[in-house]
Amino acid sequence: MRYLIAIGFLLCLIPAFGCEEEYTYRPFPPPETALTTTPASSSATPATSASPALPTTSATTTSPKNTQTTTTSPTFTPIILSGSSSKKTPPFYIPTEEWIIEWSYEPDQEYPEYADFSFYIYPRGETLFPVEYFLYVDKSGSSYSYAGSGEYYIEVNSYDVESWTITIKPTK
């Protein structure tokens, strides 16, 4: 279906085929707004409705010479998860759009070459589609996540691993 729409759009660009309506570039709305659909009989421009904004903290500092207002992004205390075997973690809440994932593990002393450590980050209630996954990772590392705010849990698969730690923390 997408291909038919794309071909129809391209044919409208060729003057011989013509089009009844003019196509104009419409940028996506900013992240704080969402598109809503309008019936075909009403105006052709989409209506927007504001989505809830992220909570922010404001502070005003007053001095004899000037007034300064600063706004900070939401943040959270680092979440530290650890274990020594495969498991699903309890759900946790992330209030920011971006966050850092750090991990480390210690392989079994007897068979370090067989150690395997992988983990998947799922939205709460989801079991099929992780928002992030890390397969056969190095003994330690980190990565940024752009999965957004929400409730998540982690499914850890570890074999021949003595202990592991996963830390989720804000970007700044």
**pLDDT tens digits, 6-22:** 444 444 444 444 444 44
Rounded to whole angstroms, how far apart are CA atoms 63 and 50? 35
- Is the pLDDT at 101 greater than 80? The verdict is yes
Q: What is the DSSP letter of 14?
A: S
pLDDT > 90 fraction of the chain, expressed in percent and rounded = 54
Task: Indicate the pTM of the whole model.
Answer: 0.58
Top pLDDT among 119 and 70 is at 119
Cα(172)–Cα(169) distance, rounded to whole angstroms? 8
pLDDT of 100 over the 50 cut: yes
**Mean local confidence (pLDDT), 43-58:** 43
User: How do the domains of the chain map onto residue ranges?
Assistant: 79-170
Buried b (16+ CB within 10 A) or exposed e, 61-91: eeeeeeeeeeeeeeeeeebebeeeebeebee
pLDDT of 74 reads 80
Q: What CATH class is the domain 79-170?
A: mainly beta
**Residue range 32-48: average pLDDT?**
42
| Rounded Cα distance, 105 and 163, in Å | 6
